A and B are shown apart, each in its own frame.
Chain A
Amino acid sequence: DVLMTQTPVSLPVSLGGQVSISCRSSQSLVHSDGNTYLHWYLQKPGQSPQLLIYRVSNRFSGVPDRFSGSGSGTDFTLKISRVEPEDLGVYYCLQSTHFPLTFGSGTKLEIK
């Protein structure tokens, strides 16, 4: 199985600040079709995960441009700028290039 190593586990941030979350995979996430199926989710307290970024760098419908994704191969980053209260929660990365699909263990974004 592809191991997804997500860091840090906890990320204190000041409102209005900028943060980065890293997700590294144990093998390349480039699919045979040429796409890289690495996605980012936010799970707010008491809610189901919501898609933020799909295929590395594409913002999902309604996601503000404060969120951006980058990376390639095995190394990926989610950046959040001008952090707002609604951004707090747990962030997960997911790879769907290889079966079984695997998630990172999560990064909790909290107020400093």
Chain B
Amino acid sequence: EVQLVETGGGLVQPGKSLKLTCATSGFTFSNAWMHWVRQSPEKQLEWVAQIKAKSNNYATYYAESVKGRFTISRDDSKSSVYLQMNSLKEEDTAIYYCTWLLWYWGQGVMVTVSS
């Protein structure tokens, strides 16, 4: 059974940092292309970032709204993908989901950016 479990969310002040972790199981993670997608309080879904597999040189792609502030990475030995979020803004407040291939999704983790 495919499982994706996000952790690391919480309340953080503007300008601070937070790192999300997505632990996975049930599929061959080392070959997997992984994404982060977020959903605003208004329920709008927004793609955030993608990381490809080692065979694709771990290529990464970002939404313009997070480029330069967020970094997606992975640890194939731990079957985990990460989202390092720096210089957080109030508009980054959302539920963050990790997804494998956009097919299977985790349950999401809430990030609230507020002073």
Binding site for B on A (CB under 8 A): 39, 47-51, 54, 60, 90, 92, 94, 96, 99-103, 105-106
Binding site for A on B (CB under 8 A): 35, 43-47, 50, 61, 63-64, 97, 102-108
A77 to chain B, nearest CB (A): 20
In the complex the two chains form, what is the Cα distance from A35 to B8 in whole Å?
A: 36
Q: Is the CB–CB distance between A99 and B45 below 8 Å?
A: no
Q: A99-B61, A101-B102 are in contact. List 6 more A-B contacts (CB 8 A).
A: A49-B97, A49-B105, A54-B103, A60-B103, A94-B102, A96-B102
Closest to A37 in B: B102
Contact of B102 among A51, A90, A102, A106 (CB under 8 A): A51
Closest to A100 in B: B63
In the complex the two chains form, what is the Cα distance from A61 to B44 in whole Å?
A: 25
Q: Is the CB–CB distance between A103 and B44 below 8 Å?
A: yes
Give the chain A neighbours of B104 by CB distance below 8 A.
Answer: 51
In the complex the two chains form, what is the Cα distance from A9 to B75 in whole Å?
A: 40
Q: Is the CB–CB distance between B61 and A106 below 8 Å?
A: no
Q: Is the CB–CB distance between B63 and A92 below 8 Å?
A: no
The 9 residue pairs across chains A and B that have the minimum distance between CB atoms: A101-B47, A103-B45, A48-B105, A100-B63, A51-B103, A48-B108, A48-B97, A99-B61, A48-B107
Closest to B98 in A: A48
Closest to A104 in B: B45
Closest to A54 in B: B103
In the complex the two chains form, what is the Cα distance from A11 to B76 in whole Å?
A: 43
Give the chain B neighbours of A96 by CB distance below 8 A.
Answer: 102
Give the chain B neighbours of A103 by CB distance below 8 A.
Answer: 44-47
Give the chain B neighbours of A94 by CB distance below 8 A.
Answer: 45, 47, 102
With A51-B102, A60-B103: A102-B47 Cβ-Cβ less than 8 Å? yes
